[in-house]
Amino acid sequence: MFVLPLILGLTVAFVASLVQASPSWSATPFNAPAIPLAVRSPYLSTWHQDPNAALYGNWETFWTGTVTAWTGYVHVDGSPFLFMGTPANGAPIPPSAVQKSVNFTATQSSFVFSAGPVDITATFLSPVEPGDLVRQSLPFSYLSITVAPTDGKSHTVQLYTDISAEWVFGDDTQIVEWNTTVGNLITHQVQLQNQTQFQDVGDRIRQGSVYYTIENATGVTFQTGQDAVVRTQFVNNSVLLNTFDTEFRAISDRWPVFAFARDFGQISAPSTPVIHSIGFIRDPAVQYIVANNATQDRSLYFWSNFSTASDAIAFFMQDYSGASTRAQTLDNMISADASSISEQYAGLVALSIRQAFAAFEITISKDGSGQFNTSDVMVFMKEISSGGNVNTVDVIYPIWPMFLYLDPALGKLSLLPLFEYQATGQYPNVWAVHDMGTLYPLALGHNDGKDEMMPIEECGNMLIMTLSYVQRTNDKSLISSYFDLLDQWAQYLVANTLNPANQLDTDDFAGPLANQTNLAVKGIIAIKAMSEIASIAGDSAKSVNYSSIASSYISQWQKLATASTGNHLVLSYGDDTSWGLAYNLYADMLLNTSLVPASVYDMQSNWYATVSNTFGVQLDTRHTYTLSDWEIWTAATTTSSSVRDRMIGDVFTYASSGKTAAPFEDWFDTANGTGIATFKARPVVGGHLALVGSFTLMNLLSVTCPSNHSLRYLPLRCQGEIAPVALALKDLIVVVAHPLPPHRRPHRHNHRRQG
């Protein structure tokens, strides 16, 4: 059970110490607490974690804060400059380039530096590839660097980058080994000497290899060795020696680094980009429980197309131009949709997407002959930070709007492990399981039934997500395959949701509470969802019965849940002094069930306007903290654009305040803006897409925009701009679909737990 961290007691003085003078460079769309660099999987997640430091102001770090050193130098007319990292340990420290700007989008982060008469642009791209399981499953990111004279003259320029062995593991005493392969590409491969499958230690994995790659073009050199030795070689000589250090050792023993350099010669115009790729591969990736308590090792999906890591790397490098084009198209579309709400909202969405996607891995099994079975695809998610749980249902749930918007199939694939496990009959409880395992990547279920107990929460989540997926895609396979489970969970809700017992909901750090208004309405909406599910399944009797129950319950709920003053919902029945964010109303709007009376939405909108603190509306009256995803979900339920914009603006104010220096901390205090360090880098920030989550990117070409749609704030594509966006997406899909060999889409039938 999660214990409220002492960090809530941070003094105002300490919080103030985090806030420094505004940086000297421009930051677009805002100066974020941490900038994603290579953020692609639970174990490839490197960030620049300080809003007030340039890229050369501190080391790059894993999301936990452990160093994953990445160094960048440039020589201009014989003068060296540092533009990335903070090398020391005996290496010469040349002048720093001047950081001029930082810009991030949904998929990319770009830094521009001035090094004398030359500008350097470093762009970090972590692709998001809707509709493409192969590309989305590749655990790689790009670093693209260009140089350009700014004075109209010619200059000689040489570029250098390296990574340290810290990318492999967080314990610097561990021994690593490495090798460098040279061909059309040059790749440094680094891994632990002693590995253990599936062993997550301190949120790093004792398994797998880091791959750092560059094209073997004219002017490219490489070197491996002690950090001070290799870096000194380039700073003093502007070239590397093409030599190999063969003395394997501990990560902190003379700090081995793995470097590349590129000599541009004389340039008088912007250079072509120098492309690097960085990746972390392990195989198998996940262990999953199947029938009869047996286990199944699962690999990342891309292995169905490539026989070696080298083949995958070669494809990824060759795909850069297409990946960059697709990323720009996707970034533009997301920005247009989110900007139709507000510019502040667009900034929050852009910062959220890579963080959310990096928690997920797309996996595949092997058949009896040892061949990959492309009909058996599952997505697994690590909760991140608040726990290491696997596929926590109430963590998938807040992310759900992002799936519906970008790629509903990934949402379905994240539910399949949960459905299939419970369909084996090994889980003993009648309600829905909380998660698939306590420590990623071991998805071993809970055959003892002792997972964290959130019965109404998880039953409601599973029913709501299932129906919304079917509504978006018309794929009814979840219903046809798992109808009995869905019906079982709905029956539990019928018996328990109107007057919830003293139990936890997703916000478990707040403790259990009986008669929770917000929890009860989720269950009632889920009963209505089951009515729709039964109708789709052709069971009209059950559909009518569940619909009647939901209608009866919502009338009773409204009376129980409304304060005697008639101006707000209470947190718990009968306590007129209590209130909270009624974020579960969002499900009624998302499913278009129209179960909750419009007067309730109006009442709550008016109420939120009266109780907002500096950094938002608190989660409930027990504490002044809130959660950013629920803040945005609640904003999506308001009937006033001014209230909506105030709630979005409060989250934006928190995110841009400079009071934290970590990947987005979604749990924070609304009074002073203090973030909670145990809630950083979590995928729940996908919930920030709640205001665009009613539309599906992959269905753009046939989308219809009804004037009476339940969501009141529609994306641009439903405000007269569908044609250009649809055409852009059509081009995007064509680019994605053709370069790869055929690969079949699946057709088979955390957790939010804050601790």
| Residues ≥6 apart with Cβ < 8 Å to 616 | 626, 628, 631, 647, 650, 651, 654, 670
* Angle 150-151-152 from CA coordinates, rounded to 5°: 100
- Identity at 128, one-letter amino acid code: V
Q: Which residue has the higher pLDDT, 722 or 606?
A: 606
Query: In 3D, which of 27, 80, 70, 26 has the Cα closest to residue 47?
Result: 70
Q: What is the mean pLDDT of residues 5-14?
A: 34
Phi, psi of 61 (to 5 degrees): -140, 155
Q: How confident is the model at residue 265 (pLDDT cuts 50, 70, 90)?
A: very high
- Express each pLDDT in 704-718 by its tens digit: 333 333 333 333 334
What does the pLDDT read at residue 91?
85
With H, G, I as helix, E, B as strand and everything else as coil, classify residue 719: coil
pLDDT value at residue 735: 33
Integer distance in angstroms from the first to the last C-alpha of the chain? 6
Tokens of residue 46, six digits: 């490197």
Question: In which residue are the tokens 């590839």 written?
Answer: 129
The rounded mean pLDDT for the chain is 91
Residues 6+ apart with CB under 8 A from 424: 290, 291, 292
Measured over the CA atoms of residue 59, residue 231, residue 122 and residue 278, the dihedral's sign is negative
Q: How far is 752 from 755, CA to CA, in rounded Å?
A: 8
Average pLDDT of the residues in 435-461:
98
Distance of alpha carbon 402 from alpha carbon 348, whole angstroms: 13
- Beta-strand ranges (E) seen in 206-289 are 209-215, 220-226, 249-250, 256-267, 274-281, 286-289
Quickly tell me which residue has 């058949």 as its tokens.
Answer: 367
Amino acid at 241: L
pLDDT, position 695: 54
Nearest to 266 by CA among 154, 383, 402, 395: 154
Q: Where are the alpha helices (DSSP H) in 623-750?
A: 628-637, 641-655, 722-737
DSSP 138-174: --EEEEEEEEEESSSS-EEEEEEEEEEGGGT-S-TTS
Helix axes 722-737, 320-339, angle to 10 degrees: 150
* Residue-by-residue DSSP string for 335-361: HHHHHTT-HHHHHHHHHHHHHHHTTEE
Distance CA 135, CA 744 (A): 13
- pLDDT-derived band at 90 (thresholds 50, 70, 90) equals confident
pLDDT at residue 705, as a whole number: 39
Q: How confident is the model at residue 89 (pLDDT cuts 50, 70, 90)?
A: confident
- Within 8 A by CB and 6+ apart from 706, the residues are none
Question: 686-736: per-residue pLDDT in tens?
Answer: 999 999 986 544 333 333 333 333 333 333 334 333 333 334 444 443 333
Closest CA to 363 of 302, 290, 444: 302
- With a cut of 90, say whether residue 224 has pLDDT above it: yes
Higher-pLDDT residue of 705 and 467 is 467
Q: What pLDDT score was predicted for residue 711?
A: 36
Better pLDDT: 333 or 715: 333
User: Angle, nearest 10°, between helix axes 320-339 and 343-357?
Assistant: 140
- Answer yes or no: is pLDDT of 207 > 90: yes
Torsion from C-alpha of 605, 610, 612, 614, nearest 10 degrees? 140
pLDDT, tens digit, for every residue of 100-136?
999 999 999 999 999 999 999 999 999 999 999 999 9
Residue 88 confidence class, pLDDT cut points 50, 70, 90: confident
Side-chain half-sphere CA neighbours of 168 within 13 A: 31
> What are phi and psi for residue 545, nearest 5 degrees?
-65, -50
In sequence order, the β-bridge partners of residue 297 are 287
Which pLDDT belongs to residue 415? 99
Q: How far apart are CA 281 and CA 191, in angstroms?
A: 10
Q: Judge residue 537's burial from the number of C-beta atoms within 10 Å of its C-beta, 0-12 exposed, 13-18 middle, 19 or more buried.
A: middle
The residue with tokens 């660099």 is 37
Closest to 682 measured CA to CA, from 731, 753, 632: 753
Q: Please tell me the distance from the alpha carbon of residue 179 to that of residue 27, in angstroms, as a whole number.
A: 38
What is the H or E stretch that residue 393 is in? helix 393-406
Q: What is the pLDDT of residues 49-61, one digit of tens each?
A: 999 999 999 999 9
Kindly report the pTM of this predicted structure: 0.91
pLDDT at 349 over 90: yes
> How high is the pLDDT of residue 752?
34
Q: Which helix or strand (DSSP H or E) is residue 175 part of?
A: strand 175-182
Task: Give the alpha-carbon dihedral of 236, 242, 248, 251, to 10 degrees.
Answer: 40
Domains of the chain: 36-282 (2.70.98), 453-596 (no CATH)
Cα separation, 412 vs 536, whole angstroms: 17
The residue-averaged pLDDT of 569-575 equals 98
Q: How far apart are CA 391 and CA 411, in angstroms?
A: 11
Q: How confident is the model at residue 21 (pLDDT cuts 50, 70, 90)?
A: low
495-535 pLDDT, tens digit per residue, is 999 999 999 999 999 999 999 999 999 999 999 999 999 99
Mean pLDDT of 308-316: 99
Q: Does residue 343 register a pLDDT over 70?
A: yes
pLDDT at 727: 40
Q: Averaged over 73-99, what is the pLDDT?
A: 95
**Separation in Å, CA 454 to CA 77, 266, 430:** 64, 65, 12
Q: Beta 118-125 vs 140-149: how paired, if at all?
A: antiparallel
pLDDT score recorded for residue 716: 35
- The whole-number pLDDT of residue 724 equals 34
Find the mean pLDDT for residues 589-596. Answer: 96
